[in-house]
Amino acid sequence: MPERSPVIFERLALIGVGLIGSSIARAARAQGAVRSIVATARSQATRERVRELKIADQVVETNLEAAKGADCIIVCVPVGACGAVAAEIGSVIKPGAIVSDVGSVKGAVLRDMAPHIPAHAHLVPAHPVAGTEYSGPDAGFAELFENRWCILTPPVGANEKAVAKLKAFWQRLGANVEVMDATHHDLVLAITSHLPHLIAYNIVGTAADLEAGTRSEVIKFSAGGFRDFTRIAASDPTMWRDVFLNNKEAVLEMLGRFNEDLAALTRAIRTGDGDTLFDSFARTRAIRRSIIEVGQETAEPDFGRRHSAHDPETPLPRPYASD
């Protein structure tokens, strides 16, 4: 039997055990990345479910209990709640511990968490760019991060060993790791993830506002492109509210550019300018091909997505990113 690599962390604390927290728990255990996992969640119901799922060695009642004695603490809650969690656990973080998160926005997380992390610990924010539209501890699966990017955004002057250790952890979970500045992360993700979600929420909302008769037709003929928007628009409202509130500048910047380009396409349709439409669509088709070439999507019909209801025990045919 091949020898297993040594554990990266002795005691991993997960604060928040939804889609991402529970996927980390499952993947860390499957890959032998940690000796033990202690987990907690906000509600009694979620903590109970995590106990039933047996994905952590210990499920505790409070964030303080989880953080105490852990050599890595990963905060897996909505972006808007990260600061309050850091304030709560700050006093019990042990010397040398790594504190991280998984939030989809990095500048605001750094701003909100950093003041509460003691100087003897290391804050290294992270964002696994992998997800689905499902939430909660049942939604997670061990393969979620395989061949997905995980972006680390350490603050200036961060401890290099701590960054390297967290990088090794995410690599063990199957992710490709990139290190970048939080502001840059937020700008890139504004266009690749945040704006697409806003557009999906908007188009599905517009369709839902149509009068009842038309609405049934929308659902009936949804295969014509609309259906993929509905998948994205089914994403967790709390998480996405926090993303837009906390990445305001970058999203508004990208939204401005988007509106200008949309105005150009609108004009081309109105004036019958087929060349402009054709050139624009041909350019974007090439972008899709290059995404498939780098392995971040599949060319299979319907993007290789499962069609039955989500079964957390069965991994996706090919992991896909929604975030």
Question: Which residue in the block uniquely carries the two structure tokens 């890139």?
Answer: 188
Is beta strand 149-152 parallel, antiparallel or unpaired with respect to 98-101? unpaired
Q: Which two tokens stand for residue 56?
A: 């952590």
- For the CB of residue 296, give the shortest distance to ligand NAP in the complex, in Å: 14
Q: Is 18 in the site for ligand NAP (CB under 6 A)?
A: yes
Q: Is 107 in the site for ligand NAP (CB under 6 A)?
A: no
Q: Which is nearer to ligand NAP, 57 or 273 (CB)?
A: 57
Spatial separation of the C-alpha atoms in residues 161 and 3, rounded to whole Å: 25
Q: Is 322 in the site for ligand NAP (CB under 6 A)?
A: yes
Write phi, then psi, for 236 (nearest 5 degrees): -60, 120
Q: Is 312 in the site for ligand NAP (CB under 6 A)?
A: no
Write phi, then psi, for 106 (nearest 5 degrees): -110, -35
Q: Is 16 in the site for ligand NAP (CB under 6 A)?
A: yes
Write phi, then psi, for 211 (nearest 5 degrees): -65, 160
Taking CB under 6 A as the criterion, the residue among 12, 28, 72, 102 binding ligand NAP is 102
CA distances from 316 to 27, 221, 254, 273, 308 (A): 14, 25, 31, 42, 11
Q: Choose one: 76-84, 150-158, 167-175, 297-305; the region binding ligand NAP (CB under 6 A).
A: 76-84
Q: Is 131 in the site for ligand NAP (CB under 6 A)?
A: yes
Judge whether 15 and 67 are in contact, CB under 8 Å. Answer: yes
Q: Choose one: 42-50, 251-259, 291-299, 311-319; the region binding ligand NAP (CB under 6 A).
A: 42-50
Contact track, ligand NAP, 249-288, x by CB under 6 A? ----------------------------------------
Taking CB under 6 A as the criterion, the residue among 31, 100, 104, 246 binding ligand NAP is 104
Which residues contact residue 187 at a Cβ distance below 8 angstroms, ignoring those fewer than 6 apart? 250, 253, 254
The amino acid occupying position 319 is P
Q: Is 25 in the site for ligand NAP (CB under 6 A)?
A: no
- Give first-to-last CA distance, the chain, whole Å: 37
- For the CB of residue 200, give the shortest distance to ligand NAP in the complex, in Å: 13
Q: Is 246 in the site for ligand NAP (CB under 6 A)?
A: no
Under the rule (CB under 6 A), what is the footprint of ligand NAP? 16-21, 41-43, 46, 76-79, 81, 85, 102-104, 128, 131, 135-136, 236, 239, 322-323
